[in-house]
Every structure is written in structure tokens, then in C-alpha cells.
Amino acid sequence: MSQQPDRIGEVIESSTTRFTAGAYELLAAPPFGALIRAQSRVEGLAIYGLVYEIRTGSKEPGGRAIVRGRTYTGRDLYDAEIYHEHPDLAEVLQTEFSAITVGFIEDGRVYQYLPPHPPPVHYSVYQCDPAEVACFSQSCDFFRSVLFASNIPSDELLAAMIRAAARARDDDRAYLVHAGREVASLLKDDYDRLTALLRRIRP
């Protein structure tokens, strides 16, 4: 792993195959398809996930955000102005992001299958830098886990990760060709799905 970056949040829900984190800064979740890393209780082990959902809402269970763009005096506020005029929003709203588990790293070695344990609740979450993304994506074994996962936008997620992994390399075109071939081998019996996904990873 590269030098430890600033943590972006902490785990608030965890299971064998996916986990959800709360962002420390409102609206500051990693992008869709980002590779993130959650710490483990085991020394030298951390869990990798791909962000497939980002949401912002009330911190109160069952609560909802209320309209803030027009005051009772008739004054209109737009977009970022609302947050500037209502700094308390950072206290009542929370941004969360969910990730599918795609592997783990233990003592410097990367594995692209499920870790022995999910990350503990309240443990730190980090966004992986380009060097770590390039290292993790040297193998394409995680492609199958993403493509055939349930209840996530799997094709869009894999395409976003492939684009990010290509950007993390000097020779992005070579990686796109390699990744495209791996996808083709997995979806050889589903031509329509394959062609749609390949269109999404074109530079």
C-alpha cells in the first residue's frame, strides 16, 4: 500500500459481502466506482470495496430533509447558497456510501476474494490513490464478483472501475484492451450485455 491517506469516513454497517460507511464531510463521498479500503481488527489486513451507491439524508431514523430554497419572507436561495446560509445542515444531514467487497490485502499481498471477516463497524475507511488502484487491478479476478452480484448496478460499476484503473496507469489503452478481453470471456454468451458494457469503457 502507498502512504496512508486521510480517512474519509467510518464503517456504519457491515456484512460478509458489502459494507456502508458514513462520510466525515457532508456531500464528500468518493465517486461511484471508486476503490476504497476499510481497516480490519487483524493487524496488517484491510478490506477492499467498490462504491456502488451514494446517498445523503437525515441523520434521524425515518427523517427526511426539508425544503430550504425559499424562506418564509420569499427570498430564494440556490444550490450552494443553501448550505452557506444553513451551516447547521452538516449537523442534521449525513452522506453515506455503500461498497461491494471485492478483496482484501494482508501483509502486503492482495487477494481478490472475500476476506475472512467483514470490516468492523466504526473502523476507518480510506479512498485508494491511483497507485493502489493500479496495484489492486493488476488481476481481473474481481470482475466476475462484480458482474454477477445482485441488487447493484453491476455493469455500470465494473465499467466505472475499469475506467478508473486505466486512468491510474501510464498505458491506459493497453489496460482497456486487456480488461475488455476479460469481460468478453465472462460475457461471451450474452452479446447484448457485452457490447453495452464495452461501449461504457471506451476512452
Q: Is the dihedral of CA 7, 131, 167, 149 positive or negative?
A: negative
Distance between CA atoms of 12 and 33, rounded to whole angstroms? 19
Global pTM reads 0.92
Q: Does residue 119 form part of some domain?
A: yes
Q: Residue 101 is part of which domain span?
A: 9-200
Distance between CA atoms of 158 and 95, rounded to whole angstroms? 23
Distance between CA atoms of 110 and 130, rounded to whole angstroms? 16
CA distance to 85, 132, 163, 174, 182, per residue, from 177 (Å): 48, 20, 11, 5, 9
> What is the total count of domains within the chain?
1
Q: Does residue 157 form part of some domain?
A: yes
pLDDT for the residue 200: 94
Confidence label for 2 from pLDDT (cuts 50, 70 and 90): very low
For the chain, the average pLDDT equals 94
Residues 48-62: what's their mean pLDDT?
A: 94
107-146 per-position pLDDT tens digit: 999 999 999 999 999 999 999 999 999 999 999 999 999 9
**H-state helical runs in 14-101:** 80-85, 89-92
pLDDT for the residue 66: 86
Within 8 A by CB and 6+ apart from 83, the residues are 26, 89
Q: Does residue 41 form part of some domain?
A: yes
Contact 183, 200 (CB under 8 A): no
Q: What whole-number percentage of the chain has pLDDT above 90?
A: 85
Q: Does residue 37 form part of some domain?
A: yes
pLDDT for the residue 176: 96
Q: Does residue 1 form part of some domain?
A: no
Q: Does residue 2 form part of some domain?
A: no
Residues 165-183: what's their mean pLDDT?
A: 95
Q: Does residue 4 form part of some domain?
A: no
What is the 3-class SS of 47-110, one letter each residue? EEEEEEEEEEEECCCCCCCCCCCECCCCCECCCHHHHHHCCCHHHHEEEEEEEEEEEEEECCEE
Distance between CA atoms of 22 and 24, rounded to whole angstroms? 6
